Amino acid sequence: MFELKNLRKSFGERVLFEKLMLEIGEHEIVSILGPSGCGKTTLLRICCGLDEADEGEILLRESLLARRIINPEIGMLFQRPVLYPHLDVGANVGLGYPHGAPNEKKSEAVEEVLTFVNLGGFQGRNIGQLSGGEAQRVAFARALLQSPNVMLLDEPFASVDTEQRLALASQTRTWLKERSISAIHVTHDEEEANRMADRIIRWSDLVSH
Amino acid sequence: MASSSSQVNVHPIQWGVIVVVVSAGIIPLLLGVLRLMQVTQASPINAILHAFDTPLATEALQFTLLEAALSTLLTLLIGIPLAWSLGRYEWRGIRGMRAFLFVPFVTPPIVAAAGFLALYSSGGLLPFMGLDLRTETGVIQWFSELSGWAHPGHMLALVLAHAWFNLSLVVRFLEPTLAQMNPHWEEQLLLLPGGQSWWLRVRHLWWPVLGPSLLVAATYTFFFSFTSFALVKWLVPGANTVESLLGELGGSAGIAFYRTEASLLVLGLALIQGAFMLIILTGASKFENQHTKMLALHDEQANRKLRGNAPRIQRWYVFAIITITSLPFLSVLIASFRKRAMLEDGTQGWTWTLDGWRQVYQGDASTITLLEALGNSLTFALLTLLIALPTGYALASAFHRLERQGKRKLANSLDIMCMVPLSASAVMIGLGIVVGLLQWFPSMFQFQYLPVLPHVMLILPFTVRIFRPAFTRLDPMYEEQIELLNLPLFRAWWHGKGAFLVGPFAIATSLCLAFSLGEFGATYLMVRVGSWDSLSIMVDQLLSRPKFDPLVMPTAMAAATTLMVVTFTALLVCEFVRKSTGGTDDV
Amino acid sequence: MNIPSLAIVALMLVTPLAGCLEPLQEESETCTILAPSRVMDNTVRILTYDIAAFSQEMLDEFTTQTGYEVELIRTDDAGGILELLMQTKQAPQADLAIGLDNTYLQTALQFCLLQPNDVSINEIDETVLDVYQGTYATPFDQGDICLNVDENGLDGENRTMPESLWELTEPQWNGKTVFPSPLTSSPGRAFMVATVDYFEHDDDETSSAFDWWKAMAANGAQFTSGWTEAYEMHYSGGYGEWTEGHLGDALLTVSYCHSPGVEAYYSGNWTHSTSIVLERSSFHQIEYAGLINGATQIEGATAFIEYLLSDEVNRNMPVNNLMNSVLNNATFPAQEGYEWHTDTPLKNAEISMERIANEMEDWLNQWQTATQ
């Protein structure tokens, strides 16, 4: 469904990866396990079009994706929660509401995902009042509301405490499976990977081709 | 955090300073209004209604609003891409570029007027390129005939000059916002349905983040264009803004039984202008608060590296703007070495000469020597600095202490009262002194340093604006620690506070000197005894002379060049002091 | 308290004060001579206007002869001289006022801005003294204020030499005329006075000068604060075409009947400027020098007036100051076409100085209303 073929990326003389091959099946959740700073985030940025590889191809349902072009079928959750201080919690989450969907159902949908991440009733809150963990869950709620065909998750629960993190990982898996969303999930936490993924790949294996 | 009461209480001397400043700011203006009311036997309301009933006044007001609006629009059109390019990419020498783009804002208005006059007049660069904004021939004439607009060239000349002047405001407010903006905001939004289209991204991100910065810059640009005097006087012959009309009528205002109509018109116009300026400043203050809140805490350097070098077209644009910014300065300098002459073939041309410099250096019966005028300007500037700097510091410190006591509203109210001169234009302040203060205390005409009064009134609000946020950023912990170390008074002050305020001190000093050296409107209105002439007034007087003598222009330009060089030198010295003592860029 | 509230409070406080301010009392007719306001020094300070063309050589010669230094304080126009005198009445900044003419003088006398001098007027032409021969002001030059027109703009078909002032309100003159304002300029004021007399003596008894001014304003006439701006910047027939900042958008302006002579003198006996000499459309202007009330250097100022009236200086007024001498049998120089290109008015306006003094305020108000 989503294929990465022979990707190469370097920064100056430092080669992050080359001849990287990865294939994600329909509705499959793949976790990539690796330490911080190894290049996992860069890989995800290349997948969603925020960055571009030196060489290689990315295919979505066998169609070649243009480089550096954002594809609306691919969404990403950043490692640090990216919330907009001029919008309240509800409006931040609402940015993930599908474009063209009926407006009258937006508020209901927003409340649903907020409840899912245990932030029911937070719609009107100022994001400055949120803790780190709450902020990350708001960002996560927005990603869930967006429900793209391919979801890229960059250490999505890094700011959340351990107990909540594992619970969220399970909930996320449920949510993705119910909506048949494929996902690439990067983390350095093996337990989290186990809760989330259909398949776990170690970064060292991925880049050793 | 606990703090000693001596740090928090407002000192009696500071209260005294507040009272003196508020009085000095309000009394001349109040006396001026009272004098005009006495001479005309009219109330402020009647004077305002009369002004709205007088075509001369309403035309001036319409022209003012139009030119200020057009100037603001053009400034934003040029400034937004410039700030965008500077804020989003890595530039070698970005500090130098910012500093150079700031220079027009502190250039003496009369120097700017002289520079643009040299650019637009025959022999200047623009006519050479086929753009005759002065006599409005060629493409300007075609446009005038097509549109029915009487003098589009003059309006364009003024609007361009205003844009040149105020461009730095757009860069000053917009560029830091862009540079410090969290880059992930933009990236995340690109990946969300709420950011799929350009319009959605403007609605959800760009306008909320950049809007306040743009509105502050636009409001201040409008404000300075609204009160422009020297540029209007020299670039738009025959048209009047409210400020230039006040300047023209001001000489006959406040005289009992003489031209009462003029006094009535001055009273009405001054009040109308004051009302407009209050509205504009209120808006600017609100937008500035929003702008400050929106500045995200993000490392500027990291942001620039994320985007790397600017694309070529943006680099060309930035360098073009920098080059164009330098043109008026170069025009003034070149014009000081050039005088018109009849060439051998009988045509009108130019010759290179030092005669203008010789003439301005030695002076004549009508003008003092260059060195005397320079001495006057520097004396006024240093006196202004000696008064405005410690006073501004004392006021800002007092307001900060009131805030720490929890009396924020009182601090803000007193701050506003000290800002009253800011809501009066330079010409109005000059009028207030001439019509008000000097009519009640005529012996002050003999006081050689009288021009320092309007300079201090105009500059003091800026020094407070610089010091007050600096105080807010100070960590009280440093002062508290110092109290425990039993140091002598000055060392205690220096280590606890002073060392952290080098940057603001340097910036306030450079602004004080630059504004005082260049002050024109208020000084123009006051009694001009030849021997007290500042360089600014000297330039205007020389430019006003009948030009059958070809030496008039190079002499005026030589004086303008001197003023320009002195102002820039003062700015550079302050910048050097700031950098060498480790002052930050932060204001 | 926010800014708008502060403004409203201020306005509410000030407005009632209008009723509390006592009306000012007009000064008594007897003028008191004020004590000198400044410390005495060796410099004569002369308050004059921008077009006073005293050359540096002339001023240096005065210093050589008398030992007094000269400092000129220049205002933009003659109205500026009067205003500066009024503003600084209690503490005058100069010793001598030069440039008030016979349309401004009476106002200066009424406001007690001048003090008597003892300069001898024996050599002055009697016709000059007919206008004013008191001791408060001494005439030093004269000239006839005329309309000047650029002959290059008269093509013989569309635009011809006007034979009446009403012709200037016709479409072919739209936007082609410029006048210094009578509110601030002495030539402008003099011409306005002339138009009062002109229209009181023309065939049409229904229209006044101010109907004409209104029609001129409607026909695109421009108004400047001073003579320099009108003549140098706007008028296309004069020296202005060689100067920086020149616009040249006006074919007609107010200047002197001898201005074309001056142009010719400095251009090698050639000019395309000429005067319009319709009866009563010109005004005989006399300029005065007066000791300022409260002057400090009275001796030096008196010496300067005497210097101005000396034969060597005054007979050279046409060249030194571009005006005519006030001495007996004075003429314009014949060299370089000065005299030849100078036009003589057919008949100057005849309005007394008393009438000017009594009605000037009213005329200025009417003029302002008509031209706005």
- Please choose, from the candidates B325, B323, B351, B321, the residue with its C-alpha nearest in 3D space to the C-alpha of residue B337: B351
Please give the pLDDT value at position B528: 55
Structural domain harbouring C58: 43-143+286-335
Q: What pLDDT digit, counting tens, does each position of C58-89 carry?
A: 889 999 999 999 988 888 778 888 988 988 88
Interchain proximity B191–A80, CB inside 8 Å: no
Q: Is residue B105 one of the residues assigned to a domain? A: yes
Please give the pLDDT value at position B133: 85
Q: In chain B, pLDDT over 90 holds for what percent of residues?
A: 33
B203 touches chain A (CB under 8 A): no
The pLDDT of B465-483, averaged and rounded, is: 79
Please give the pLDDT value at position B51: 94
Buried b (16+ CB within 10 A) or exposed e, A73-88: ebbbbbbebbbbbbbb
Please give the pLDDT value at position B585: 46
Task: Label residue C6 exposed, middle or buried (CB < 10 Å: 0-12, 13-18, 19+).
Answer: middle
Residue count (chain B) = 587
Interchain proximity B209–A86, CB inside 8 Å: yes
Q: B340: part of which helix (H) or strand (E)?
A: strand B338-342
Q: Is residue C35 one of the residues assigned to a domain? A: no
Q: What pLDDT digit, counting tens, does each position of C191-237 carry?
A: 999 999 999 998 877 789 999 999 999 999 999 988 888 999 899 99
Phi-psi bin for C294: left (phi > 0), alpha (psi -120 to 50), beta?
Answer: left
B306 touches chain A (CB under 8 A): no
Q: Is residue B139 one of the residues assigned to a domain? A: yes
Q: Which chains touch B (3 or more CB pairs under 8 A)?
A: A, C
> What is the 8-class DSSP label of residue B250?
H
Please give the pLDDT value at position C12: 56
Residue C203 sits in the same domain as residue C351: yes
Round to whole Å and give the CA distance between B281 and A162.
Answer: 52
Q: Which chains touch A (3 or more CB pairs under 8 A)?
A: B
Q: How confident is the model at residue A167 (pLDDT cuts 50, 70, 90)?
A: confident
Residue with tokens 């008028």: C235
Choose which CATH entry (3.40.50.300, 3.30.2040.10, 3.40.50.970, 3.40.50.920) describes domain A26-48+70-199: 3.40.50.300
Nearest to B237 among C24, C70, C247 (CB): C247
Q: What pLDDT digit, counting tens, does each position of B228-242 carry?
A: 888 998 898 878 899
Closest CA–CA distance from residue C278 to any residue of chain B (Å): 28
Q: Is residue B259 one of the residues assigned to a domain? A: yes
Round to whole Å and give the CA distance between A201 and A186.
Answer: 10
Q: Is residue C1 one of the residues assigned to a domain? A: no
Residue C257 sits in the same domain as residue C354: yes
Q: A67: part of which helix (H) or strand (E)?
A: none
Which residue in B41, B49, B58, B259 has the most chain C C-beta atoms within 10 A of its own C-beta, making it the best mutation to test that interface?
A: B259
Please give the pLDDT value at position B576: 79
Q: Is residue B525 one of the residues assigned to a domain? A: no
Nearest to B416 among C1, C24, C75 (CB): C1
Q: Is residue C263 one of the residues assigned to a domain? A: yes
Q: What pLDDT digit, counting tens, does each position of C29-63 carry?
A: 578 888 887 788 899 999 988 666 677 888 899 99
Question: pTM of the prediction?
Answer: 0.84
- Please choose, from the candidates A95, A174, A102, A203, the residue with its C-alpha nearest in 3D space to the C-alpha of residue A142: A95
- The angle at the Cα of B277, spanning C87 to B540, to the nearest 5 degrees, equals 45
Q: Is residue C251 one of the residues assigned to a domain? A: yes
Q: Is residue C202 one of the residues assigned to a domain? A: yes
Round to whole Å and give the CA distance between C302 and B13.
Answer: 53
Give B-chain residues touching A48 at CB under 8 angstroms: 191
Closest CA–CA distance from residue B271 to any residue of chain C (Å): 9
Q: What pLDDT digit, counting tens, does each position of B125-174 carry?
A: 888 888 888 878 888 888 888 888 878 888 999 999 999 999 999 998 89
Q: Is residue C76 one of the residues assigned to a domain? A: yes
> Which tokens is B130 given?
């086929």
Interchain proximity A96–B188, CB inside 8 Å: no
Q: Quick check: B91 and B303 in contact, CB under 8 A?
A: no
Residue count (chain A) = 209
Q: What pLDDT digit, counting tens, does each position of B511-540 carry?
A: 899 889 988 878 877 755 556 788 988 998
Residue C163 sits in the same domain as residue C277: yes
Residue count (chain C) = 372
User: What sign for the dihedral angle of Cα C231, C237, C242, C245?
Assistant: positive
Residue B166 backbone dihedrals phi, psi, to 5 degrees? -100, 0
Give B-chain residues touching A97 at CB under 8 angstroms: 193-194
The pLDDT of C352-368, averaged and rounded, is: 88
Q: How confident is the model at residue A66 (pLDDT cuts 50, 70, 90)?
A: confident
Q: Is residue B166 one of the residues assigned to a domain? A: yes
Interchain proximity B185–A98, CB inside 8 Å: no
Per the prediction, chain B carries an average pLDDT of 85
CA-only gyration radius of chain A, Å: 17
Q: Looking at this predicted complex, what is its ipTM?
A: 0.84
- State the CATH number of the domain containing residue C137: 3.40.190.10
- Please choose, from the candidates C303, C325, C328, the residue with its C-alpha nearest in 3D space to the C-alpha of residue C316: C325
Q: Is residue C8 one of the residues assigned to a domain? A: no
Q: A183: part of which helix (H) or strand (E)?
A: strand A182-187
Kindly tell me whether chain A and chain C come into contact, counting contact as 3+ Cβ pairs under 8 Å: no
- State the CATH number of the domain containing residue B186: 1.10.3720.10
Q: Name the domain count of chain B.
A: 1
Which residues share a beta bridge with A55? A8
Q: What pLDDT digit, counting tens, does each position of B178-196 carry?
A: 888 888 888 899 999 999 8
Buried b (16+ CB within 10 A) or exposed e, B155-178: bbbbbbbbbbbbbbbbbbbbbbbb
Residue C60 sits in the same domain as residue C80: yes
CB proximity list for C54: less than 8 A, separation 6 or greater: B365, C48, C72, C320, C321
- DSSP-assigned letters across all residues of C53-118: ---HHHHHHHHHHH--EEEEEEESSHHHHHHHHHHTTTS-S-SEEEEEETTTHHHHHHTT-EE---
Q: Is residue C5 one of the residues assigned to a domain? A: no
- 3-state SS, one letter per residue, for B100-133: HHHHHHHCCHHHHHHHHHHHHCCCCHHHHCCCCC
Residue A59 backbone dihedrals phi, psi, to 5 degrees? -120, 140
Interchain proximity A85–B294, CB inside 8 Å: yes
Nearest to B55 among C18, C232, C372 (CB): C372
Please give the pLDDT value at position B164: 95
Q: How confident is the model at residue C25 (pLDDT cuts 50, 70, 90)?
A: low
Q: Is residue B10 one of the residues assigned to a domain? A: no
Q: Name the domain count of chain C.
A: 2
Q: Is residue B291 one of the residues assigned to a domain? A: yes
Which residue in B192, B198, B213, B305 has the most chain A C-beta atoms within 10 A of its own C-beta, making it the best mutation to test that interface?
A: B192
Residue C72 sits in the same domain as residue C208: no
Structural domain harbouring B161: 42-334
- Identify the closest residue of chain C to B365 by CA–CA distance: C71
